[in-house]
Amino acid sequence: MSGLLLFAWIMVLAVIIATIVIFFKNRKEKNEFDDFSWESEKRKEKKLFDRTNDETRYQVRDSNYEEQQYSNSDVENKLNDDKKYENNDFNHEDENNLHNQNNEINNPSNNWENRNNTYVTKEKLKYQIKKNQYDQPKKIKENDWMIKPKRKKSPWWVVFGIIVALFRFCNSIDNANRKSYTSNQEIASQSITSLYGEWMEKAEEYENNGDYEKAEEYYQKAAEYNKEIYAVIGTMYYDSGDKEKGIEKLKEAYEKGAYSAAGMLGRAEEEKGNIDKAKEWYAKGIEKQDIFSQLSMAFLYKKEKKWDEAEKLILKGAEKDDKSSIYQLILLYFETNKETEMQKWKEKLFDMPQIGNLSVNERDMVLYATGNENDRKYVKLLLEAGYLKDEGKYKEAEKLYNEAIKYNKRAYNDLGDLYYLYYNKEDKAIEIYRKGHAEGSSHATYSLAILENNKGNKKEAEKLLKMCAEKGNLECQESYGEILTENNQKEEGLEWFKKAAEQKDSISMFKAMYYYYEKNDEVEVKKWARKILNEKGILNLNYKIQNYAEEIMKS
pLDDT at 120 over 60: no
For the cut 90, the answer to whether the pLDDT of residue 459 exceeds it is yes
pLDDT at 190: 52
> Is pLDDT above 80 for 101?
no
Q: What percent of the chain has pLDDT over 70?
A: 67
Separation CA 73–CA 77 (nearest Å): 6
Number of H helices and E strands in the chain, helices first, is 28, 0
Q: How high does pLDDT run on average in the chain?
A: 79
Nearest to 502 by CA among 469, 525, 526: 469
Between 89 and 47, whose confidence is greater?
A: 47
For 289, half-sphere exposure in the C-beta direction (CA atoms, 13 angstrom radius) is 6
Distance CA 32, CA 313 (A): 87
SS3 for 481-537 is: HHHHHHCCCHHHHHHHHHHHHHCCEHHHHHHHHHHHHHCCCHHHHHHHHHHHHHCEC
Residue 80, pLDDT > 60, answer: no
With a threshold of 0.85, does the pTM exceed it? no
> At residue 66, does pLDDT exceed 60?
no
Domain ranges of the chain: 187-273
Question: Which pLDDT tens digit goes with each residue over 262-294?
Answer: 999 999 999 999 999 999 999 999 999 999 999
Q: Are 352 and 374 in contact (CB under 8 A)?
A: no
**Distance of alpha carbon 227 from alpha carbon 257, whole angstroms:** 6
Burial class (CB in 10 A: 0-12, 13-18, 19+), 523: exposed
Rounded CA separation 415/401 (Å) = 6
Residue 166 pLDDT greater than 80, yes or no = no
| CA-wise closest residue to 468 among 495, 485, 435, 446 | 446
pLDDT band at 60 (very low <50, low <70, confident <90, very high): very low
Band (pLDDT 50/70/90 cuts) for residue 105 is very low
pLDDT confidence of residue 64: 45
What pLDDT is attached to residue 288? 94
Question: pLDDT for 334-359, tens place per residue?
Answer: 999 999 999 999 999 999 998 888 99
Average of pLDDT values for 137-154?
Answer: 39
Phi, psi for 541 (deg, rounded to 5): -80, 120
Examine the pLDDT at 134 and tell me if it is beyond 50.
Answer: no
Whether pLDDT at 13 is above 50: yes
- The per-residue pLDDT for 193 is 72
Whole-number Å distance between alpha carbons of 199 and 502: 33
What's the confidence (pLDDT) of residue 356? Answer: 83
381: pLDDT strictly greater than 50: yes
Q: What span, in angstroms and rounded, lies between the C-alpha atoms of 243 and 248?
A: 9
Banded pLDDT at 144 (limits 50, 70, 90): very low
Secondary structure of residue 300 in the 3-state scheme: helix
- CB burial class (10 A; 0-12, 13-18, 19+) of residue 477? buried
Q: Which fold has domain 187-273?
A: 1.25.40
Q: Can you give the pLDDT at residue 458?
A: 94
- Higher-confidence position of 377 and 168: 377
